[in-house]
Amino acid sequence: MYQHANSLPEEKKDPLFQKKPELALSLIDKTRERGYEPGIVLIDSGYGNNTSFLIELEKRNLKYLGGLAKNRKVKVVNNSDNKEEIRLDILADSLPEEAFTEITIESEKPRTVWVAVMDVEISRLQGHRKIAIVMNAPTFKKAEDIDYFITNVKLSLVTPKWIVDTYSDRNWVEVFYREIKGWLGLKEYQVRSKRSLKRHFILVFCAYTFILWHRFTGGLRRRWANKPLNTFPEALEAFRTAMSCRFVKWLNHNYDVFVAYKASLGYIGA
């Protein structure tokens, strides 16, 4: 769990303080110790723009695809000896329209993007890396949404379609947080200690796993629904239906227990 420096007694000098990249590396190491080797590490620009973090990934022989900030400077590798260092946004603006490849992202709402891929050199990283510029329009001046990416995957394998398809997989992290915040109360708690927070998070994660497992295996649908459960909210509603039915059934057979319980709290069962 990330803790802000000002929440610790000695702030940044506190032995418990860790920056987010340090926590990310420790989680990756724990994952590998458990026998799960990442095929590729997908990271946003907060990590992709951190050269030290990328170096640590490469020391572990891990492949990555990550975001970059628009002001990141690179040296474009070309046939000439002129390797000028240039900001990514200025580089994107200088590219002709034919440098970009049109790609359609297949999702719930398909969308089209334009992608340019090239070899570059980046300070402190030895050798060449592939970068990609992804825009929602065929030219820089028309684009309203522009993303920049870097990868250390073998250069011959990196294509515009590969960049778009691979990084799209990271969206499932956002889907996970959207669903557990919107439907399972991840951010709705009244505890303050680190131990209590961890317990709350673990309960939410377990509930999410339980609902998702039933959704994919059809468990809830077989008994509690006569329609497909295609989304997380639909599966959750089927689960709530099941719990409501079970409670009503229990109440019908154990009304005296329910009344006694209420009476012990000072209420009258009518």
Residue 134 inside a domain? The answer is yes
- At 269, the amino acid letter reads G
Both 140 and 73 in one domain: the answer is: yes
> Which structural domain range is residue 145 located in?
66-159
C-alpha 155/C-alpha 63 separation (Å) is: 12
Both 222 and 155 in one domain: the answer is: no
Output Rg (C-alpha) for the chain, integer angstroms: 25
Q: Which pair of structure tokens corresponds to residue 19? A: 């920056």
Q: Indicate if the pLDDT at residue 73 is higher than 80.
A: yes
Farthest-apart Cα atoms in the chain, separation: 90
Q: Indicate if the pLDDT at residue 43 is higher than 90.
A: yes
Please count the structural domains in the chain: 2
What pTM value is reported for the model?
0.82
Residue 54 inside a domain? The answer is no
- 241, 221 Cβ separation under 8 angstroms: no
Residue 14 inside a domain? The answer is no
Q: Indicate if the pLDDT at residue 26 is higher than 80.
A: yes
Q: What mean pLDDT is predicted for residues 168-176?
A: 90
List C-alpha distances in Å: 207 to 74, 84, 217: 45, 53, 16
Both 145 and 190 in one domain: the answer is: no
Residue 52 inside a domain? The answer is no
> Considering the chain, what is the average pLDDT of its residues?
92
117 pairs with which residues across the strands? 132
How big is the chain, counted in residues? 270
Residue 217 inside a domain? The answer is yes
Tokens 């439907």 appear where?
A: 183
Residue 215 inside a domain? The answer is yes
C-alpha 75/C-alpha 96 separation (Å) is: 18
How large a percentage of the chain has pLDDT more than 70?
97
Q: Indicate if the pLDDT at residue 95 is higher than 80.
A: yes
Both 144 and 199 in one domain: the answer is: no
pLDDT of residue 81: 57
Q: How confident is the model at residue 268 (pLDDT cuts 50, 70, 90)?
A: confident
Residue 193 inside a domain? The answer is yes
